[in-house]
Amino acid sequence: MVAVKKGKNKVSPALVVNGEKVWTTSFLGGPNNGADAHLPSNMQLDESGIWALLVYLGDKYIP
């Protein structure tokens, strides 16, 4: 998951794993709510404002 702040051209990582902002993670949790696996996650943005969150699975963008 990546984040882009409105009016800026900078792409920032938004996913937080073990207290650290990361671009990606391979950690998956077990089955949850009918899914085979799930990804417990937290997000953190650099500053207040309007942000777009872009989600990718591997190299594939998920709109």
Condensed to tens digits (0 to 9), the pLDDT of residues 3-19 reads 999 999 899 999 898 88
Candidates 49, 50, 9, 32; CA nearest to 41 is: 32
| Residue 37: both structure tokens together | 């696996």
Q: What is the distance between the alpha carbons of residues 17 and 21, in angstroms, rounded to a whole number?
A: 6
Q: What is the pTM of this model?
A: 0.68
Q: What is the pLDDT of residue 49?
A: 95
Residue 12: count other Cβ atoms within 10 Å of its Cβ: 16
pLDDT tens-digit map of 17-57: 888 898 888 777 889 999 998 877 789 998 999 999 998 88
In the predicted model, what is the mean pLDDT of the chain? 89
Q: What share of the chain is helix, strand, coil (3-state, %, to 5)?
A: 0, 45, 55
